[in-house]
């Protein structure tokens, strides 16, 4: 697909303090296990759905996989030293379920747990707060073979795994996230088929939505029970955007309602309000899908959130008619069509929309009133290494600067935003794109595994320092 021409833009962003951020605002970087760890078959780790999906011909760019990735499993102490040099106070990372509980059932794997204990100890030794995500898409393959997330039992297996992880690490980690982006797990993995496990069944994807949320609730209860009176900040991370109508027509407004319903409210309404939105349930029924809710499920899902992780990459413009002006598609269903805009774009061909991050955060505050942290925000660009070995990436620096300004503006408008974690710490395995897309503020040479701070990393480090000094 040809990208919309990118307007000429001023990418210069000086290092200045970000005004309006409180003294306890969290500064961090983020990664996920399968994208960086490597060591895919070491110390008892068994295959995940991504190990399997990467072997499907044509599923991943270049047939690439995460067997080695950034070799973080063997280079962890050096990577923690790198993180510390960025001046951040928090590191968000995920645990690999098949490394901790091979096969997704049974006792914990001591060698796998020991790796994360060492990681947490290294972080504490550098005065960096660990922020754990329990699930970032690496379902043990054995559980997928038994039905995956469309099967109710997977939610209970997830709760068992969460209990194992918390029992091993809860004495040294206060900040826990259950799931990362359940929309991606359910929709991209079970409907679109472009993420692991690569299935294409809309009904299965909606069943997966409910069981992912149920798994979150069950795991939350297990963790809270185990924590007792110990300090705990527990939440979930969702990938969220905004939905803007192309025109003021009723059709475009309805398209935005549907997009917001299935992208935001389908998750947040049960998590916060203990109910699925009736209009979304009706929309799903038009496509023959039903959420498999059993008695007591919604009470479990609505376990109180201490924090909502927000992964933001872009907002979107929607139309309620086809390009030919028809209000229904070839299947007779109402149209919800994304409309491209004449905006700057990343190497993923994603529009850059920082002001829409402000709108999103303010709207979340008004609708759900849960404290938020930006757990992912960043961009892939086509970086090049200069003759002197440096990596000038003014486009990424501008992206980070503009989105941090959007966070500050959201706070000024009343949103309770408590932190910002740049995605990603380093270039890594970018799922179906393999190693073709680079999101890192640190460059990784995959041939040598050498790490190099990009200019954006230096800007981020210096901005954090100036903002702290200005308080």
Q: Which residues are catalytic?
A: 181, 376
d(CA 322, CA 317) in angstroms, rounded, equals 14
Q: Which residues pair with 334 in a beta bridge?
A: 328
**Helix or strand run (H / E) with residue 132:** strand 129-135
Q: Look at the chain and count its residues.
A: 471
Q: Which two tokens stand for residue 220?
A: 């939350």
Are 422 and 28 spatial neighbours (Cβ–Cβ below 8 Å)? yes
d(CA 349, CA 5) in angstroms, rounded, equals 11
Q: Which two tokens stand for residue 301?
A: 């899902």
Are 118 and 129 spatial neighbours (Cβ–Cβ below 8 Å)? no
**Helix or strand run (H / E) with residue 51:** helix 49-53
Q: Which two tokens stand for residue 359?
A: 């709108």
**Cα 445 to the chain's mean position, in Å?**
24
Q: Which residues pair with 233 in a beta bridge?
A: 175
Are 187 and 198 spatial neighbours (Cβ–Cβ below 8 Å)? no
Give residue 246's region: left, alpha or beta (phi > 0; psi -120 to 50).
alpha
Residue 89 CB: number of other CB atoms within 10 A? 17
Q: Which two tokens stand for residue 360?
A: 């999103």
Q: What are phi and psi of 377, to 5 degrees?
A: -165, 130
Are 316 and 242 spatial neighbours (Cβ–Cβ below 8 Å)? yes
What are the E-state strand segments in 200-311? 233-239, 243-245, 307-311
Are 408 and 21 spatial neighbours (Cβ–Cβ below 8 Å)? yes
Q: Which two tokens stand for residue 283?
A: 């929309």
Helices assigned H by DSSP within 6-109 = 33-36, 49-53, 72-85, 97-100
């Amino acid at each position: 697909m040809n990208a919309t021409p990118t307007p000429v833009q001023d990418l210069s962003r000086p290092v200045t303090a970000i005004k309006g951020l409180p003294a306890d605002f969290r500064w961090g970087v983020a990664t996920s296990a399968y994208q960086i760890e490597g060591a895919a078959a070491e110390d008892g780790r068994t295959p995940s759905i991504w190990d399997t999906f990467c072997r499907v011909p044509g599923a991943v760019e270049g047939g690439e996989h995460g067997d080695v990735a950034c070799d973080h499993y063997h280079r962890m102490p050096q990577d923690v030293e790198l993180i510390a040099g960025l001046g951040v106070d928090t590191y968000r990372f995920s645990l690999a379920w098949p490394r901790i509980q091979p096969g997704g059932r049974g006792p914990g794997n001591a060698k796998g747990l020991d790796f994360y204990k060492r990681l947490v100890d290294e972080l504490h030794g550098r005065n960096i707060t660990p922020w754990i995500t329990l699930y970032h898409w690496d379902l043990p393959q054995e559980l997928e073979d038994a039905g995956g997330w469309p099967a109710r039992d997977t939610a209970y297996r997830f709760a068992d795994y969460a209990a194992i992880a918390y029992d091993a690490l809860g004495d040294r980690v206060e900040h826990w996230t259950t799931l990362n982006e359940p929309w991606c797990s359910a929709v991209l993995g079970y409907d679109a088929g472009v993420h692991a496990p690569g299935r294409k069944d809309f009904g299965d994807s909606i069943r997966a939505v409910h069981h992912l949320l149920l798994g979150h609730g069950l795991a939350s209860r297990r963790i809270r029970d185990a924590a007792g009176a110990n300090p705990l900040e527990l939440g979930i991370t969702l990938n969220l955007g905004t939905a803007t109508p192309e025109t003021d027509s009723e059709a475009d407004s309805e398209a935005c309602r549907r997009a917001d319903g299935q992208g935001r409210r389908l998750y947040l309404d049960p998590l916060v309000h203990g109910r699925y939105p009736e209009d979304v349930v009706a929309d799903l029924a038009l496509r023959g899908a039903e959420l498999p809710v059993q008695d007591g499920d919604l009470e479990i899902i609505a376990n109180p959130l201490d924090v909502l992780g927000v992964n933001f990459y872009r907002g979107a413009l929607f139309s309620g008619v086809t390009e030919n002006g028809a209000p229904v598609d070839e299947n007779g269903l109402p149209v919800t069509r994304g409309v491209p805009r004449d905006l700057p774009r990343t190497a993923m061909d994603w529009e850059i929309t920082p002001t829409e991050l402000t709108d999103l955060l303010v709207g979340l505050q008004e609708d759900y009133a849960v404290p938020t942290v930006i757990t992912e925000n960043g961009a892939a660009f086509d970086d090049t290494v200069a003759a002197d070995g440096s990596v000038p990436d003014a486009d990424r620096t501008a992206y980070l600067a503009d989105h941090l300004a959007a966070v500050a503006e959201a706070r000024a408008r009343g949103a309770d935003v408590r932190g910002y974690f740049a995605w990603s710490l380093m270039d890594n395995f970018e799922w179906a794109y393999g190693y073709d897309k680079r999101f890192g503020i640190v460059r990784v040479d995959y041939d040598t595994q050498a790490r190099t701070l990009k200019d954006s990393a230096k800007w981020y480090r210096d901005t954090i320092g100036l903002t702290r000094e200005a308080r």
